[in-house]
Amino acid sequence: MLVENFKRLALWSILGLAGCTSLPSEKIVPQEDPVIIGSPVRRNFTPLEPAFACVANALREKSKPVVVSIAVGDVKDYTGKYSQTEGNAITQGGALMVYSALGKLGNMVEIRERFDTRIAELELAYADRRQLGDGQLHAIEAGKPPVPWVPYFGGTILRSQYYIVGGITEVNYNIQSGGFDAAVSNVGGKRRTFTMNIGVDLRIIDTRSLVVLKTVSMQKQIKGEEVGVGIYRFFGNELLDLNVGGKSQEPLQLGVRTTIEQSVLELVGAITGVDANVCIDPIMEPKRVARDGQIPSVAGPAQPLPVQGKANGKGNGNGNGNLTALIDPSSTQSGGLVPQNRSLVAQGAGYELQFVTATADISPQTRSQIEKMAAEASQGKVVNYKLLSRDTENFPPLQRRELTSERINAVSNILTSLGVSASRIKVLWRPDPTDAGIRREGGGTQLIASLAIEP
């Protein structure tokens, strides 16, 4: 009887699985079959995102607006691992990962293109043959008619100070493996684990002298596991064969990317005088940091960044464009940032200004709220307001900080155009540059920043 019930249950389960899918699907065009819609596209995050924000903040304190100009050479796969069925085991895009890593430092590093200059060289050849135009007429010599080609006199290509080259040099498949596989009367389970590793060697070179200024050799272990249970039994004349289990492995190419990113941080730190390890160790080696005690500063105590009083290249109309964030860097609450002027939070009206995902554009509804805020502020009242966005908006800390500054500026520009002095606008709270978390505020929204208009 037990076997019969199990057979019925197995049959209905098979029929149910055959008739449905657990993945969402959508019919794009009426005449087509539905297609499976998986997860949305997102930015490629790694565990080192807070470290990039930390190093960029240290560079910002040391020098403005640009520290160094860096080019990227070839970063090849030197492992030689290749499969006839799956192709190259290791990514062939190491140089592209280095470019992306440098881009995470924002405008603290200027990137010079040297990896693929074919289009630029082709256009320079066209310009040399007087074949390249831009739809305009250009005066070449006084007293002569203008010409339709673009004149080129040399010197427009900017030089680099340094460049990064190297390669992915190791992939070792079975550093360690182990597990168990046990069964009693053909009923049992198994668990297996394995560890492999990859290695990266990069160096940064002075472009003029070709002196190698710094080399780094990094390795990262990649772990995986397999678990399962199974039954293989005869019940009279009936055979029951049931196996359940799963396999999981840390993404190999993500491990390569993370290793390259840490190497880039150390190379940039070496040529700029910033100790990148102070930013890296709390993330990659938390146990060692906890053992050694307090983390030293990267480049002196962190200072809040000024919020410039212009957005999209436009001034605020009154020439007073600096809004200083009232932030206490020593605090450990709310990601290290808390209001210094707490009296402002307890007074006056409160407004919530919501932005569209990934933009600093002001909607008509938000504009109406800002006009009401300006009217109250003109009466000498304290006006508190919050900047909100959808809680699905999730950017790396550095990019989120830049977008937050643009949003603060966008609101401040409208307020100043309505007669509110920029000196009255104060930033009470905004996320720490190394904080990757979000703070939910109501249904489906997150808090970006809290501000106030002083009396």
Assess whether pLDDT exceeds 90 at residue 286: no
Q: Residue 313 above 60 pLDDT?
A: no
Decide if 265 contacts 51 (C-beta within 8 A). Answer: yes
The CA-atom distances, in angstroms, between 236 and each of 4, 188, 372 are 12, 20, 82
Question: 343: pLDDT confidence band, cut at 50, 70 and 90?
Answer: very low
pLDDT band with cut points at 50, 70 and 90 for residue 7: low
pLDDT band at 222 (very low <50, low <70, confident <90, very high): very high
- Flag whether pLDDT at 315 surpasses 70: no
| Averaged pLDDT, 195-200 | 94
Q: What is the pLDDT of residue 21?
A: 54
Please compute, for residue 242, the number of CA atoms within 13 A of its CA located in the half-sphere on the CB side.
Answer: 13
Element (H, E) at 292: helix 286-292
The token pair at 298 is 């990267």
What is the separation, in whole angstroms, between the first and last Cα of the chain? Answer: 82
Nearest 5°: phi and psi at 109? Answer: -135, 130
Check residues 1 and 403 and name the one with the higher pLDDT.
403
Looking at every residue in the chain, the average pLDDT score rounds to 80
Say whether pLDDT at 353 is over 90.
Answer: yes
Residue 402 gets the label, from left (phi > 0), alpha (psi -120 to 50) or beta, of alpha
pLDDT the model gives residue 66: 62
Nearest to 416 by CA among 377, 365, 455, 364: 377
- Span 8-53, pLDDT tens digits: 666 566 555 555 556 788 888 888 888 888 888 888 889 899 999 9
Q: Which of the four pLDDT bands, split at 50, 70 and 90, describes residue 83?
A: confident
Report CA torsion sign: 358, 364, 367, 369: negative
- Identify the bridge partners of residue 202 per DSSP, sorted by sequence position: 166, 216
Closest listed residue to residue 172, CA positions, set 269, 252, 110: 252
Handedness of CA 81, 261, 166, 117 (dihedral sign): positive
Q: Is the pLDDT of residue 324 over 50?
A: no
CB-CB neighbours of 57 under 10 Å: 24
Phi, psi angles (nearest 5°) of residue 400: -65, -40
In order of their start, the domains of the chain are 49-114+159-170+198-215+252-292 (3.40.50.10610), 307-453 (3.30.1330)
Give every CB contact of residue 190 below 8 A, 6+ residues apart in sequence.
Answer: 179, 180, 181, 182, 226, 227, 228, 229, 230, 245
Q: Among 72, 83, 89, which residue's Cα sits nearest to residue 168?
A: 89
pLDDT tens-digit map of 243-261: 888 888 889 999 999 999 9
Least confident of 195-209, 297-311, 337-351: 297-311
Strand 87-88 and strand 82-83: the pairing is antiparallel
- Residue in this structure with the two tokens 């930015």, named with its chain if needed: 43
The predicted-structure confidence for 163-173, as pLDDT tens digits, reads as follows: 999 999 999 98
> Is the pLDDT higher at 208 or at 295?
208
pLDDT at res. 250: 87
pTM: 0.60
Distance CA 377, CA 289 (A): 47
- Give the model's pLDDT for residue 396: 78
Residue given tokens 């809004």 in the structure block: 323
Burial class (CB in 10 A: 0-12, 13-18, 19+), 411: buried
Quick one: DSSP state of residue 288?
Answer: H
User: Any long-range contacts for 144-148 (C-beta under 8 Å, 24+ apart)?
Assistant: none
Q: Binning pLDDT at 50, 70 and 90, where does residue 156 land?
A: confident
pLDDT in tens, 65-79: 567 899 999 999 999
Sequence-distant (6+) residues with CB within 8 A of 384 are: 344, 345, 347, 348, 349, 350, 351, 428, 450, 451, 452
Residue 388 parent element (H or E): strand 383-390
Local structure of 432: helix, strand or coil: coil
Structure tokens at 191: 């668990």
Q: Given this model, what pLDDT does residue 82 score? A: 86
- Strand runs labelled E in 22-80: 25-26, 35-36, 68-77
Between 1 and 278, residue with greater pLDDT: 278
